Structures are given as C-alpha cells and as structure tokens.
C-alpha cells in the first residue's frame, strides 16, 4: 500500500484526474485552492481525510463543499436536506454501484459478476431477512459454540486476545451457520478462506483503488488474491452447491428436505449463467465478505467501547439475563434488549466505518441538480459527511461523548408519552436516518442490516452474560486504523476475556 512506485504513478495520473471535471467551480473547496496545492491535498487525503471532512462540515454545516482525494474531487453534503436528496436519487442518476467501485474495485478484487449483476442484494433483503426468525435457534447455538471454541478459556484466568481477529473467527462461523449450515460452517479450511478473503478484499481493494480505472484490470492480478480464495471456495463449497443443483434438476425447486439457507435462497433468484456451481460459489463468497467485514468491525468497536466504558456492562448483563429468563433465546426476545440495542447504535454512531457514507457517482448524462440549484456534472462523485454529522451537537446532546444508553432513554421518554410508533422505531439500531448513517439511508440502505443487527445483539447479549472483559490498557481506547475515507478498529489491539464466575 505504501510502495512509492505505486504512489508516484497514481499521483501523476491524479494530476490529470483532478482537472477532468471542470464544472465544479461553484462548489467551495476545503483545503488548498491552487492546482498543485490541491493535488498535494489529495495525497495527504490518505492520512487526514477525517480532519479535512470535519473542517468542511464545520465551515458548511448545512451546505455542500468539495475536497481533493488522490484521484478526483469529492463533493460532500452536510445538511439533512441534501443527505435525503442523495439517498433518494435513483441508480440511473446517482449510482451506488459506481460509487462503491471507485473506492473498492469490486470487479477486480471480488469479481465482475458481483458488480454487474448484484441480484444477491434482493436475496438478502427478502429471503434471508424473512427467514431470520425460523433460523435464529441455529444462529444462537452457533454463537455459543463459536465463542467457546475460539476463546478457549479455562478456569477463572484472564486471557488477552486480538479483538478483531477473534471476532472475525466468531462471525465467520455464526454467519455460515445461516449461509451453508452444518457441518461446513465449522470446517476450518472453509472458514479460514472466508476470513482471509474478507481481509484481502479490503487490503487489495485499497491498493487497486490508487490506480485510475483504465489501469485497474492490469494491476489487480498482481495485488489481489481473489483467484486463490475462489479456488479454495470451489474445493470446499463447490460439492455442496453441485449437490443442490442436482437435487433441483431431479426433483424440482421445492424438493422435500430442501435446506433453508443462503444457497437455496440464491437459487430462487438466480437465472441463466448464474445457476452454475462457480457462479453460486462466488456469490456465497462475496456475501461472506460483506457479512464478516462489516459485523466484525462493528462488534470489535463495541468491545473497545465496552472495555473503555465498563460501567455499561452490569446494566446490559442484568437486562440480558432478565429477558432470557422471561422470553428465552428467541429472535422476538431481542426486541426487548433495549440497552444492548442502544449501546450498539451509539458505538456505531461514534465509531463507524468511515468519514463519509453513501458515496455515489453521477451517471446521468445531464448531471444531478440539488434543490438549491447546485449541479454536479456527469462523472463527479458525491457523499455525505457521516462522521461529522454523528458528532454534531445539533443532532446529539454531548455528541462527542460516548453515552451507551442515550437511545434507550429516548425510547423510554417517548414510550412514557404513549408515542410507541415512529419516534421509538427511529432510535433502534436497525433504523436509518439523515443523522444516523452507518447503514446509509434511502434507496440503497444496507440490505443486510437486519441480519447484522440480529447477530450483533445476540452476540453482545451472550458475551455480557458469560464473560468479564477488560481493556488491554485500562481507560485507553485503541485508536482506529485510517486510510483515506476508511476507518477501522485497530487490527492489533487486544481485549482481555475471562469466564464469568456464576454463584
């Protein structure tokens, strides 16, 4: 990622890219305004993007500004009105897919079919979400087994473990209990491959993204390990998929005993060339990337917040034990975990996945016009200042302070006034809004957030009931890893676990 040859080549090409969209003159620049100085800002963007976005938001809290990334101008919106307009724009005007592709070259580091025919998003939004209730007992079982197997705690001794790596191992097992079921969800070769693929997509994606579009197909094979990961996936998952296709050919799509899992749900939506073993294996592999990457980062951030603010542990433990005692380990019971839900939402508010959200590329020939008359030309990029919005005191009281139960209190206040509908729902982890953007908002809000929140809440409830936790260094929250717009939990930081002594 830091290879000087890569940066020099990318920098030279960025000089051209930064001059390629000339119709942004009406949008104010945050940073340097001279051409060469703006280019230098683009280079520095790799390490100081959060500060640059925050400076722009402070200067234009309800407006629009632009900053120089390494390869192009990035237009950033601040106000809720403009965030809503970006979120509501159709794909043929502001492209979600092309926006993702710019920062994470899906075609090169995952596979062209995933970018060009993302039908799996519909599968996740519908079939997977509808079946969460029916499959929750198995998800819950895997959470318990996975934590036992991965943590390997004995007696009452404390054990220091690398947080992100540990949680990725757990999330891979839990997710695949839903995706492919037993016994494959516990196959170490299969799991290791999925975790390594998730790591490589981000690592190689950052590197490939340094190059302009025209060079990415040429450099990606030397940077990405996707072909190796796909080969292992074919070896481990391929036979299961082949068996499903054979059963469907022999007995029809509703054959007796058909498993209720991701493979079956994908087959309900797949058409033509997507109904082959390689195509379906790639689709499951890419879904694993999304599930492992996002949920692992979110849960690791929550662990860092919990060990930095340990006063939240006992109230969440009391809530979880009370709910489980009265309602059992059920999907419906998760709705009663109000404090746990609030804690996760607050953790994501302050420690999300990046400085911005909802990156879109203007693909409409005539560009995109905001309600104030500002026009973005075809080919330009726009996003929302997510982190700055989350830290805005006009949106959240004491916005810079971690208050794990702020949303639980707000829900209780509205419930006390018999407002049990929209205002209460808006403060749940699952909801999206112009001032809460970890899942985006609008037409392309994350389709997998329903499973992610179910998984995260069940995992956190299990942890607070069964374990004591400590920070590696008391009172110190590990700093995030930052690269460009991306912010991730510290990959080397550890958390101390101990089996809870129950009298």
H or E element, residue 498: strand 494-499
Tokens for 19? 């001059």
Q: From start to end of 164-250, where are the E strands?
A: none
User: Is residue 296 within 8 Å of residue 171, measured between CB atoms?
Assistant: yes
Dig out the tokens for 320 from the structure: 């979880």
446 is in an annotated binding site: yes
Which sign, positive or negative, has the C-alpha torsion 250, 253, 257, 259? positive
Which tokens is 461 given? 């409830």
Closest CA to 226 of 208, 242, 252, 212: 208
DSSP 272: G
Q: What is the DSSP letter of 185?
A: G
By the 10 Å C-beta count (0-12 exposed, 13-18 middle, 19+ buried), 247 is classed as middle
Q: Cβ–Cβ contacts within 10 Å for residue 2, how many? A: 7
Which segments within 338-453 are labelled E, that is strand?
357-362, 368-369, 375-376, 381-384
| H/E segment holding residue 228 | helix 226-251
Residue 475 burial by Cβ neighbours in a 10 Å radius (0-12, 13-18, 19+): exposed
For 401: left if phi > 0, alpha if psi spans -120 to 50, otherwise beta; the answer is beta
**Residue carrying structure tokens 């190796």:** 228
Q: Which residues are annotated as a binding site?
A: 446
Q: Which residues are annotated as a binding site for heme?
A: 446
């Amino acid at each position: 990622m830091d290879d000087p040859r890569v940066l020099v080549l990318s920098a030279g090409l960025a000089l051209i890219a930064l001059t390629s969209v000339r119709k942004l003159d009406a949008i104010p620049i945050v940073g340097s305004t001279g051409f060469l100085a703006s280019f230098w800002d683009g280079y520095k963007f790799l390490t100081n993007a959060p500060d640059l976005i925050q400076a722009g938001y402070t200067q234009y809290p309800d407006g629009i500004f632009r900053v120089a990334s390494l390869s192009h101008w990035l237009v950033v919106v601040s106000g809720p009105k403009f965030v809503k307009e970006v979120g509501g724009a159709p794909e043929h005007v502001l492209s979600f897919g092309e926006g993702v592709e710019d920062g994470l070259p899906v075609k090169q580091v995952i596979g062209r079919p995933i970018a060009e025919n993302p039908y799996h998003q519909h599968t996740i939004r519908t079939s997977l979400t509808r079946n969460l209730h029916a499959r929750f007992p198995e998800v819950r079982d895997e959470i318990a087994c996975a934590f036992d197997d991965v943590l390997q705690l004995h007696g009452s001794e404390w054990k220091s473990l690398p947080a992100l790596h540990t949680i990725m191992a757990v999330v891979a097992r839990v997710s695949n209990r839903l995706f492919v079921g037993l016994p494959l969800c516990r196959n170490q070769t299969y799991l290791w491959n999925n975790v390594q693929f998730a790591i490589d997509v981000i690592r190689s994606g950052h590197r490939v993204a340094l190059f302009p579009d025209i060079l990415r197909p040429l450099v990606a094979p030397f940077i990405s390990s996707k072909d190796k990961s796909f080969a292992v996936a074919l070896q481990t998952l391929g036979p299961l998929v082949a068996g499903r296709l054979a059963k469907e050919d022999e007995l029809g799509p509703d054959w007796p005993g058909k498993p209720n899992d991701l493979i079956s749900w994908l087959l309900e939506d797949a058409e033509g060339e997507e109904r082959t073993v390689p195509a379906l294996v790639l689709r499951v592999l890419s879904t694993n990337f999304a599930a492992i990457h996002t949920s692992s980062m979110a849960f690791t951030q929550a662990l860092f917040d919990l060990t930095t603010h340990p006063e939240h542990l006992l109230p969440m433990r009391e809530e979880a034990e009370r709910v489980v005692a009265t309602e059992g380990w059920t999907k419906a019971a998760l709705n009663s975990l109000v404090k746990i839900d609030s804690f996760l939402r607050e953790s994501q508010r302050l420690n999300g996945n990046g400085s911005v959200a909802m990156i879109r590329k203007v693909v409409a020939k005539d560009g995109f016009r905001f309600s104030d008359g500002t026009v973005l030309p075809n080919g330009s990029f726009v996003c929302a200042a997510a982190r700055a919005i989350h830290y805005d005191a006009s949106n959240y009281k004491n916005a810079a302070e971690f208050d794990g139960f702020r949303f639980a209190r707000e829900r209780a206040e509205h419930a006390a006034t018999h407002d049990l509908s929209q205002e209460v729902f808006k403060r749940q982890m699952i909801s999206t809004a112009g001032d809460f953007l970890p899942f985006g908002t609008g037409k392309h809000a994350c389709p997998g957030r329903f499973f992610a929140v179910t998984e995260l809440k069940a995992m956190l409830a299990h942890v607070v009931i069964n374990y004591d936790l400590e920070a590696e260094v008391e009172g110190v929250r590990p700093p995030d890893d930052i690269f460009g717009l991306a912010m991730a939990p510290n990959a080397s930081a550890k958390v101390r676990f101990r089996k809870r002594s129950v009298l």
